[in-house]
Amino acid sequence: MKIGFLVQNSYCGHSYVSKTFADALINEDEIYMFATEGTKHTDNSFWENYNVYHSTSKKYGIDDSNYQEFFKWIADNKIEAIFLNEYLDWNLIHALKEKGIKIFGYIYYCKTEDVPYIRHYFDAMFIPSENLYEILVDLKNCHFIPWGIKTDDFKVEDGQYDFIHSAGWGGIHFRKCTPEIVRAFDRLGEGTMFLHTQIPYFDTATKDRIQKLRATGRLKVKLGTTDNPDFYNQGKVYLGVSKFEGLGLFVPEALACGLPVVTTNRLPMAQFIEDEHNGWLIDSEVREGVEGFALESYKIDEDHLLKTMQDIMKGKYDLKAMKKNARSYIIKNHDFETVFKPRVKEIIKEL
């Protein structure tokens, strides 16, 4: 089958997801990439080993500026199916269906209003998060698929810092709880932490704490992009509590690097964690959800987070054993070659 992927030019989490699906299919299907810019810093080399067409558009997606270009690309390459990664433009999808194009996609969150359209338009929808799948489980075109990690790309090493955390780009209301984590680490009064962030701004209190902790030498801050394995291997324990996640790829990726993970005791984050075996689950309570989204939002128990960090520093847990447990859990349940790839191929063959 000739399959087209709508992607961004350069490396980002979105491109990483699209590439994972493409790599699962490329040996048996003809894969074509329609790449739009999407990010400020374009690096066309990310897709250099693929059959890629670079659109004239200066943003991710299809609009009036490249609509005709997109459908000409489909016709020229005789594309039979289109893969859409978290892209629910229903007017475009309707136009694709009218031309007889099969549509499959990937989502880990959606809005309540999207559910009937997903039922009507998609031939297959891949869902890696248990909480969203519970919402869409009655849709026969929706398939739960454990996310796949290319375990050979994530090496196990001994990190320098006691804790590691990534703020990412901040997300919806700092969904990855960076202010709470920095505050808990400050209250901890000991240990070291590596903080990676793609943004230079925080609320005033968090910014002040970061500056103070940097001055003491306890906190190392890395600003900008970084390679995944290099980042994770800086630490011994990953602090990955979150108040709102579609999936939270940082949890399985950290586990693949042998880092026990501290995260929220709610789905989807908790679906990867066996408490005190390969990580720790932090108490939380449901709060008002993000408007329009068909998923709950949470408030973490900061005191429980602090107590867990204190117990880790006191040596209550065998981190060496938990490190092995983290890695072995991913190899058994989320390996790209043995778990993810066969399932993707099976579903696509049925289209």
Q: What is the pLDDT of residues 305-334, one digit of tens each?
A: 999 999 999 999 999 999 999 999 999 999
pLDDT bin (cut points 50, 70, 90) of residue 244 is: confident
pTM of the model: 0.91
* CA–CA dist 87, 193 (Å, integer): 36
Specify the CATH class of 2-148+336-349 in words.
Answer: alpha beta
Which amino acid makes up residue 314? K
Model pLDDT, residue 43: 57
Model pLDDT, residue 291: 63
Does the pLDDT of residue 294 top 80, yes or no?
no
* CA–CA dist 47, 53 (Å, integer): 10
Does the pLDDT of residue 174 top 90, yes or no?
no
pLDDT for 248-286, tens place per residue? 889 999 999 999 999 999 999 999 999 999 999 999 999
Express as a percent the part of the chain with pLDDT over 70. Answer: 93
Which amino acid makes up residue 202? F
- Alpha-carbon distances, residue 177 vs 25, 164, 238, 315, 339 (angstroms): 36, 13, 13, 25, 31
pLDDT for 82-140, tens place per residue? 999 999 999 999 999 999 999 999 998 888 889 899 999 999 999 999 988 988 888 88
pLDDT bin (cut points 50, 70, 90) of residue 38 is: low
pLDDT bin (cut points 50, 70, 90) of residue 228 is: low
Sheet with strand 142-144: strands edge to edge? 51-54, 30-36, 2-8, 81-85, 102-106, 124-127, 142-144
Does the pLDDT of residue 14 top 80, yes or no?
yes
Model pLDDT, residue 154: 93
Does the pLDDT of residue 40 top 60, yes or no?
no
Does the pLDDT of residue 295 top 80, yes or no?
no
Model pLDDT, residue 49: 80
Domain ranges (residues) in the chain: 2-148+336-349, 151-333
In the predicted model, what is the mean pLDDT of the chain? Answer: 91
Does the pLDDT of residue 171 top 70, yes or no?
no
Q: Are 185 and 219 in contact (CB under 8 A)?
A: yes
Model pLDDT, residue 290: 62
More confident residue, 56 or 272: 272
Query: Domain 151-333: which topology?
Result: Rossmann fold (3.40.50)
| DSSP secondary structure letters along 94-154 | HHHHHTT-EEEEE-S--BGGGHHHHHHH-SEEEE--HHHHHHHTT-TTEEE-PPPB-GGGS
Confirm whether 2-148+336-349 and 151-333 share one CATH topology.
yes
